[in-house]
Structure 1
């Protein structure tokens, strides 16, 4: 439940308490009139029958007001804490996924051009793997729905493929430190480019899903 809904519930409940308070005040006024009448008639013995109901009404009024405000205030604080936590987590995830998309996009450029040294791809693959591992941390799963978590898991194969390609090229060109990525046969490069393009689509979808999660608790965080 969002903080806006809790605020609405609090306002509605506060109005209900106000209405109940007015009703109780009417009863208290009637009982007060009864007390005045008994005092005027000097029927002091009957006062004891009036005072307990009046005390009960006053106590009920005070308890209702105090309990309602304490409970709703606690709910508001909890909802606000959760909202701040969701915003913090989603901001972090967005920063990671956007950086991951940029790095994977550069892998596509490297494979397409094929004129840069292999060690560039190796270093890039290492950072991509680290970024992806960050997505697997526990905090990342706290507020993500099941389909989004499944999407993160589906990306593991493509990430592994990039790392395997970089590692394989590095071993194959051990005696050629500045060998270019173009040493990969064209058919294999084409297949890898297609895999990278698919991964880019998955990352973009993941970013959109994270924006949706943040928007559910913070409309101002919607993707511009």
Structure 2
């Protein structure tokens, strides 16, 4: 299955090498190995990461999760059990717009029983049966994070804490993008892709305020208002 990734790319070759080492070192512990992100999509370039996921039969088995450079290339190695991976595939969380690409586009490097295909099918089946309140509830969570970051950015700007304000603006942009993704059931390749595709990459404080206001109205119209009473909070 290695022919499915570009082995002429340094990142593709590194993914292959990593797969070979893991498969040889933990042959009885590893259920499947896959690559996702730009290497899986075939559009990696200098500066791209190598994102590898290892599926094990039991917790604590196989390699340890790690984020580290190898030969100048950043490797993000994630490890989870098959049961936990399937459970995650059946969830709709506030991070869904950033998680779904990995769930549906991972390319197997070692997968003799077709685990990654089964996970993709489980996720797509879950989306098909998901009811609108699941997405609006997750979107409201992200809206609250975005609104809080926006409010803090405004206060920091008033105090001339410009650098800190820029950090909060970036957070507000991202979470507003996640709201848009959840309400439209659109997923993104990564955080940069999220803000770019939603038109929020260059949004300033005023533009973000307008976007958040429109999103709040949209959520209210969908029966998921962003403000309410204490009883609403605990219901």
Say yes or no: TM over 0.5.
no
**Structure (1 or 2) with the greater helix fraction:** 1
Q: Rg: which structure is higher?
A: 1
**Structure (1 or 2) with the greater strand fraction:** 2
* Larger RCO: 1 or 2 (CA < 8 Å, sep 6+): 1
